[in-house]
Structure 1
Amino acid sequence: MTSPISSLKRRLLTWLLIPLAVMAFALVAESYFSSKKSIREIHDRMMVSMALLVSENVIKSGGDMLSEDASALLSLSSNERLYYQVLGPDGAFITGYADLPQPKKTQKYLEGYPHFYDTIYDNQPVRMMAMRFLVEGRGAEGWVRILVAQTKTERDDLLLRAVLQSAVRIVLVIGLASLLAIIGVERGLEPLAKLQTSIQKRSYNDLRPINKSMPKEISKVVEALNALLVRLQDSIENQRRFISNASHQLRTPLAVLQAEAELALREVDDPQSIQALESILASTKQTSRLAKQLLSLTRVRGNPRGGANETQFDLVVLARDMTVEWVKRAIDLEKDLGFEAEISERLFRGSEFQIREMLSNLIDNALKYGGDEISVRVTEIDGQVALEVEDNGKGIPEDQRGQVFERFVRLDERAGEGCGLGMDIVREIVEGHDGKIKLLDGKGNQGLLVRILFP
């Protein structure tokens, strides 16, 4: 499972979407405070107008309550409940609500400017304004004080609607920006996806440089990867060259040793000497086979499809000819080797030498480890050409079939002169030709069926 830290897409989206979310929160907060300030200023100005209306009406009436016309005008200006109080120059109560909370004597208030404050009256939050008026020649001389209190329900409703409308707009804009950011990241990472697909399509032995047009930031990574592939190719090539040279160097002395051992066997009569020479001869044959298979393996890995030797040939004819070549060996081992073809011909493009090497290893294994009946078969399965080698021997338990492809692993150490490289060579050749290999039970759940499917 990919962790969030290891996902480039998640990291990019995180660095894009988190700032957008913070910006959305900041914009909503700014909308709240600016709307609150605007609504407060508008209603505060209305309260000043109300205070002027109250003071004018009270002074004209000589201290009476507001007239019906003034009360109607105040009720039309706002849906809030309105409380007022008028105090004379000597601080005596003139009219209104006598228990309204009094303001602090701030400098602004003392100079005749409106002073606003929030408080609680009649068990509900209210906004209050206190103001002093200088009255002359109207039956009262001096500073008249006016207090006006207004409930805050309408203010809060207006503020809530303004913030919600602003939040909806901001969320829509941020949501659209987030969607565009996600699409942008997806499109921006497409070159990486194409690079990944290009690498995944390659076989493990394809170490050619990657020739894909990439953005500047990714091209540096591709250049570094190509440099690594070149160094890896050189290292593998040196290893193959060493193994090939070592195999070649071993073949001549081993052939000489085998010939001398066979010659000595014909000239000695001592049973102990014969036994020792037979042991030397068997070990020499096994070592010779190992050198030959190591050489074959290096050739296969160096040229997955035969390189310049890739040709087109008839797979049916090749399988029939290879079976005929192995018939004499099967007769010597008193085994029945046969060929079956359910299709008349099948043109195939690849390395004829490698396909021969692959089929030789399969037939050799069947003769060594299989039963007394071996069949080589070319057929067609689900539109794919299938090359099969089947025997009626003991077979391989299903839980051990994967081990036969491991190098230098032999399930039966007592059988033959094998060295555990044959099936690995087979797998290399099959995968180099884009095929698949399966190990199945033979007919009647007896023996082993090796099925190779080529596209």
Structure 2
Amino acid sequence: MKRPANLKRYLLAATLGPIALLMAIDVASLYDSTLRTTAAAHDRLLQATAQQIGDLLRVERDVLSVSVPLAMIEALEGAGGSRVFYRVIGFDGRHVAGDAELPPPPATAASAPRELRQSFRADVDGKPVQVTALYQPIETSQGQGVALVLVGETLEARQASAATLLQSMLVRQAVLMLVIAATIWAVVRQALRPLAALGNELKQRSAEATSALTTHGPEELEPVIDEMNALFLRQRQMLLQQQRLIADASHQLRTPMTVLKTQLQSAMGGDAPVEVVLPEMLRTVDRTTHLANQLLNKVRLETMRSAEQAQPLDMNQIAQEAVIEMSPLLAAKHIDCSLDTGSAVIVRGNGWMAGELVRNLLSNAIRHTPAGGALGIRLRHDAAQGAELTVWDSGPGISEDMRAWLFQPFAAAHGIGGSGLGLSICLEIAQSMQARIELVNRVAADGAVQGLDARVQWPE
């Protein structure tokens, strides 16, 4: 549906439109009903006049005559400005009295039923005339005869009455519409004041402001304000997280750069042999590059989380690709890697994010597994509990006091080198995929720690 350009005008039009339509229908219906009532009243007056003229008919020596008082016709003409005609036609169809130009009804029968009345429309001198015809039975010496009494009226009075009525109704309806429009406009304006106040408050806020809104509104607006406050809260948390990340990243990058500078100065000053310093510098560059890549991955993760590009993913295939990608690191430490993929494990999410999750967990397992050790990936799907990904290693495990903060950025266990962002990224990816991640020590029967299991569980 097209968005309204102005809410006030839209509400006014949407409200007044149906009301105006109903008023128009009501006016048309009332006007038509009044016209019929007015026409019936005029027709009854014509019928009464025709009956009065019929009562005045006299027969003398079988000759029909009538004497119509002029005051009777003038009274009818003065009632509304219309002109009134009358005519009496005798037994043999001859004109007896009145206006000869007033025509008889169509197909007039010579012998009509008694008290038969008929109304029809005719033209007299080029003007439409409503005519009432009365067949009046009269006793004569030769039996009963029937005289025809015609009374007609031009339509000026009827049209004037209808015009006056229509004008009166339109004026009343127009006044009513103006009152309704003014009332609706005032009510809508008053109802939209909280929305205008909210807009003004948002306009005056700076881009860095994340505090809750102070504007309050009616019950219908409160959910919007609550959602915006929740959005500001998430924005504040995200900004704080980014600030902490930038601060920690600056600190983490400063250390390897300082070390690299010191190593370079030692090589240039001849304090240490070049063949010793260069490998150390290479390791420092590798750590710095790894940290930069993970920082870029974290930024990319935030971008993809906002895009919400969710689709069905085959975790078995993603795990296989991760093992192939990490195979040089596995071979460098002579680690025995096993990939246990049972039934198909399908989850919803972003393909790059799911791959980054497996790669980070596998990289963490390689880093903590001693040379010549073993690690693996195990995928399972249970109809009741959902899908589960486990990356296990044969490293030293983690202590209980480290478990609470190990997923924080730049945290590392047992002093083993690393960027400190891998598990933090894994936690964010798991949360974005509605999954749960945990680190569990794998303990032998004698209580000795045999390694660490990193478990990611998706609910069914």
TM-score normalised by structure 1 residue count? 0.52
1:114 is paired with a residue whose SS is strand
Match of 1:41 in 2: 40
CA contact (8 A) 2:114 2:137 kept: no
Q: 1:243 to 1:44 in 2, by over 3 A?
A: same
Q: Which amino acid aligns with 2:168?
A: Q
Determine the C-alpha separation between the residues in 1 that align with 2:138 and 2:175. 56
Q: Which amino acid aligns with 1:160?
A: A
Q: Which amino acid aligns with 1:96?
A: G
1:147 counterpart = 2:150: yes
1:151-179 Cα distance to aligned partner (Å, 9 max, x none): 11121112111211121111011111111
1:100 counterpart = 2:96: no
Given the alignment, which residue of 82, 85, 100 partners 1:83? 85
What is the 5 A alignment of 1:381-420? none
Count of aligned pairs:
272
Match of 2:23 in 1: 24
Match of 2:337 in 1: none
1:246 is paired with a residue whose SS is helix
1:5 is paired with a residue whose SS is coil
Aligned-residue CA RMSD (Å): 3.7
Q: 1:248 to 1:113 in 2, by over 3 A?
A: farther
Q: Which amino acid aligns with 1:164?
A: Q
1:191 is paired with a residue whose SS is helix
1:21 is paired with a residue whose SS is helix
CA contact (8 A) 1:20 1:178 kept: no
Percent identical residues = 27
Q: Give ranges in structure 2 of 5+ residues lacking alignment.
A: 275-280, 296-460
Match of 1:434 in 2: none
Q: 1:4 to 1:13 in 2, by over 3 A?
A: farther
Determine the C-alpha separation between the residues in 2 that align with 1:106 and 1:178. 57
Q: CA deviation at 1:88?
A: 3.1
Determine the C-alpha separation between the residues in 2 that align with 1:48 and 1:32. 24
Given the alignment, which residue of 171, 174, 177 partners 1:171? 174
CA contact (8 A) 2:85 2:153 kept: yes
Q: Which amino acid aligns with 2:44?
A: R
Determine the C-alpha separation between the residues in 2 that align with 1:210 and 1:181. 29
Match of 1:383 in 2: none
1:136 is paired with a residue whose SS is strand
1:207 is paired with a residue whose SS is coil
Determine the C-alpha separation between the residues in 1 that align with 2:221 and 2:256. 53
1:144-201 Cα distance to aligned partner (Å, 9 max, x none): 2222111111211121112111211110111111111111111111121112122222
Match of 1:230 in 2: 233
Determine the C-alpha separation between the residues in 1 that align with 2:205 and 2:96. 98
Q: Give ranges in structure 1 of 5+ residues lacking alignment.
A: 274-279, 295-455
Match of 1:183 in 2: 186
**Greater alpha carbon shift after TM alignment, 181-190 vs 7-16:** 7-16
1:194 counterpart = 2:197: yes
Match of 1:157 in 2: 160
CA contact (8 A) 1:57 1:67 kept: no
Q: 1:34 to 1:43 in 2, by over 3 A?
A: same
Determine the C-alpha separation between the residues in 2 that align with 1:206 and 1:188. 27
1:255 is paired with a residue whose SS is helix
What is the 5 A alignment of 1:56-455? 56-59=55-58, 62-64=64-66, 66-77=68-79, 79-103=81-105, 110=113, 112-136=115-139, 141-261=144-264
CA contact (8 A) 1:51 1:146 kept: yes
Q: Which amino acid aligns with 2:133?
A: A
Determine the C-alpha separation between the residues in 1 that align with 2:108 and 2:217. 71
Determine the C-alpha separation between the residues in 1 that align with 2:81 and 2:191. 56
Determine the C-alpha separation between the residues in 1 that align with 2:66 and 2:187. 72
Q: 1:218 to 1:78 in 2, by over 3 A?
A: closer
Q: 1:7 to 1:67 in 2, by over 3 A?
A: closer
TM-score normalised by structure 2 residue count? 0.51
The structure with the largest helix share of the pair is 1
